């Protein structure tokens, strides 16, 4: 049974869905005003790994991932930032809808390239404005919110459980804790906007009982999660930067409306670093998948790189590490192709001891580094039949999602097999000059060879 670290309890707990055999999962998705960077994608990979681990155990996972196409709306009078969607629309001379459509399509291409299983639904925030207005109205009716000049605020003091997720209890919070000017219209400095009055010249706004305006960021996820998954959600995933205030506020809104706990288990991924700092669009130190491609790296090499660290640990992205992951990916695919040529391929049972250890690592809070170590150990165990290793690694890849069978069934060009055998003999005789000449001849045929401690592997160059 899969165990994960529940941010709410700070403990490792088994995933026990409310309905046995069926898990509901909500994943915080992208704000589609710019290309997703690989730090964002590492967070989305966490949800994919949770889902794959559960599905490998026989569970049906109903996953919903939102698309924030309204933007992280800010109030011009009190906040220092700007609505990111509108900034991008201005810079690119497009409408906000065109910006949202373009970057949503880009995000979905990244999802496919990184081999993330598609969610059952990708609700867009702009399609759920009526549900947001309904939630705000209920919070006002039940005394959890108040309206001032067309802006509606959630009253955090009305919700006794505020701070459970982040441990940012009201007595620990201080005014201006996020280095913003405090809105004097708030009753308590930690109150947050559910609905904001539209300022002069605001391009994107909707009518409401309190005047034209737009939703606060947090109410969007409450509306979409409740509308698509109901009042009981087994798992909610996101990045550690979402814990406060976003998910803390989401809990307060949702539970204040329905009157009970909505999400059972919260799982958060740690930041991806580059140059020792958190990778972020605002810092300008980020890379998109297109940047990796431009440097000759595949998206699945990035996936493998991320698997080398636990999801709850910060990880420093480097180009050298990515190149190493690319080499490992090529080697494993080549080994798989070699094992697939065994006459018993597809019929042999797997390596039970290795499989038991692999899945034990996966179920232990997604210990992907340990799972990869088991795979590497199996690769090097030449006492095992090739067909058995093929069976096991195929099973592992249903979780890893690395497309390790990509080279299975590929055939060498005419004459290449003889050149590889001749090169092996040259290496055994320590005639490395001849081996290098043979490597060059193979390259002209489109075959790239790699020498490993267990022999020579090959792949067809794209």
Measured CA to CA, the distance from residue 437 to residue 431 in angstroms comes to 10
For the residues 122-130, what does the mean pLDDT come to? 97
Give the pLDDT confidence of 16-42 residue by residue, as tens digits: 999 999 999 999 999 888 889 999 999
Q: Is residue 79 pLDDT above 50, yes or no? A: no
Give the pLDDT confidence of 250-268 residue by residue, as tens digits: 999 999 999 999 999 999 9
Count the alpha carbons within 13 Å of 100 in the hemisphere toward its beta carbon: 20
Assign domain 274-400 to a CATH class.
mainly alpha
- How buried is residue 315: exposed, middle or buried, by Cβ count under 10 Å (0-12/13-18/19+)? buried
pLDDT over 70, % of the chain: 91
Residue 242 near residue 268, CB atoms below 8 Å: yes
For residue 225, give the nearest of 250, 244, 261 by alpha carbon.
Answer: 250
Give the pLDDT confidence of 227-241 residue by residue, as tens digits: 999 999 999 999 999
Tell me where in the chain the CATH 1.10.730.10 domain(s) lie. Answer: 274-400
For the residues 203-213, what does the mean pLDDT come to? 92
pTM to 2 decimal places: 0.88
Q: Is residue 76 pLDDT above 50, yes or no? A: no
Second-level CATH architecture of 3-269: 3-Layer(aba) Sandwich (3.40)
Q: Mean pLDDT over all residues of the chain? A: 90
Please tell me the least confidently modeled range out of 95-99, 253-257, 330-334, 336-340: 95-99
Residue 17's contacts (CB-CB under 8 Å, 6 or more residues apart) are 23, 24, 59, 234
Q: What is the pLDDT of residue 200?
A: 82
Q: Is residue 142 pLDDT above 80, yes or no? A: yes
Measured CA to CA, the distance from residue 450 to residue 453 in angstroms comes to 10
Give the pLDDT confidence of 274-331 residue by residue, as tens digits: 877 887 766 677 899 999 999 999 999 999 999 999 999 999 999 999 999 999 998 8
Q: What is the pLDDT of residue 351?
A: 96
**Could you tell me which residue, 120 or 382, shows the higher pLDDT?**
120
Tell me where in the chain the CATH 3.40.50.620 domain(s) lie. Answer: 3-269
- DSSP character for 192? E
Give the pLDDT confidence of 42-60 residue by residue, as tens digits: 999 999 999 999 999 999 9
Give the pLDDT confidence of 406-460 residue by residue, as tens digits: 988 878 888 988 999 899 999 989 999 999 999 999 999 988 887 766 567 777 7
């Amino acid at each position: 049974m899969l165990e994960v670290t529940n941010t709410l309890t700070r403990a490792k707990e088994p995933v026990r869905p409310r309905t046995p055999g069926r898990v509901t999962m909500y994943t915080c998705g992208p704000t589609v005003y710019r290309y997703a960077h690989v730090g964002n994608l590492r967070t989305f990979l966490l949800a994919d790994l949770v889902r794959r681990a559960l599905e490998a155990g026989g569970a049906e996972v109903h996953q919903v991932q939102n698309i924030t196409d309204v933007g992280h709306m800010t109030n011009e009078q009190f906040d220092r930032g700007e609505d990111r969607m509108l900034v991008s629309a201005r810079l690119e001379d497009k409408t906000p809808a065109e910006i949202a459509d373009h970057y949503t399509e880009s995000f979905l291409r990244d999802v496919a390239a990184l081999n993330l299983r598609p969610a059952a639904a990708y609700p867009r925030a702009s399609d759920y404005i009526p549900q947001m207005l309904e939630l705000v109205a209920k919070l006002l009716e039940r005394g959890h919110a108040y309206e001032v000049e067309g802006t509606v605020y959630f009253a955090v003091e009305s919700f006794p459980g505020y701070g459970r997720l982040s441990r940012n209890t009201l007595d620990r919070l201080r005014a201006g804790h996020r280095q913003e000017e405090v809105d004097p219209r708030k009753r308590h400095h930690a109150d947050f906007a559910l609905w904001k009055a539209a300022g002069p010249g605001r391009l994107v706004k909707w009518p409401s009982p309190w005047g034209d305006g737009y939703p606060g960021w947090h109410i969007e996820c409450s509306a979409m999660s409740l509308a698509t998954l109901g009042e009981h959600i087994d798992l909610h995933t996101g990045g550690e930067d979402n814990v406060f205030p976003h998910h803390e506020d989401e809990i307060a809104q949702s539970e204040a409306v329905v009157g009970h706990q909505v999400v059972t288990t919260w799982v958060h991924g740690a930041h991806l670093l580059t140059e020792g700092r958190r990778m972020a669009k605002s810092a300008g130190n980020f890379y998109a998948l297109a940047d990796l491609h431009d440097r000759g790296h595949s998206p699945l090499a990035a996936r493998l790189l991320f698997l080398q660290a636990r999801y709850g640990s910060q990880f420093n992205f480097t180009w050298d590490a990515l190149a190493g992951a690319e080499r490992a990916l090529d080697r494993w695919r080549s080994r798989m192709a070699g094992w697939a040529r065994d006459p018993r391929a597809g019929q042999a049972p797997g390596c039970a001891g290795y499989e038991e250890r692999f899945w034990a690592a996966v179920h232990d809070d997604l210990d992907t580094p340990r799972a990869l170590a088991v795979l590497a150990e199996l690769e090097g165990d030449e006492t095992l039949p090739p067909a058995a290793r093929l069976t096991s690694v195929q099973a592992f890849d249903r979780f890893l999602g690395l497309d390790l069978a990509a080279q299975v069934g590929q055939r060498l060009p005419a004459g290449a097999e003889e050149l590889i055998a001749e090169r092996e003999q040259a290496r055994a005789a320590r005639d490395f000059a001849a081996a290098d000449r043979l490597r060059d001849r193979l390259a002209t045929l489109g075959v790239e060879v790699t020498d490993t401690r267990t022999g020579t592997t090959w792949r067809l160059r794209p």
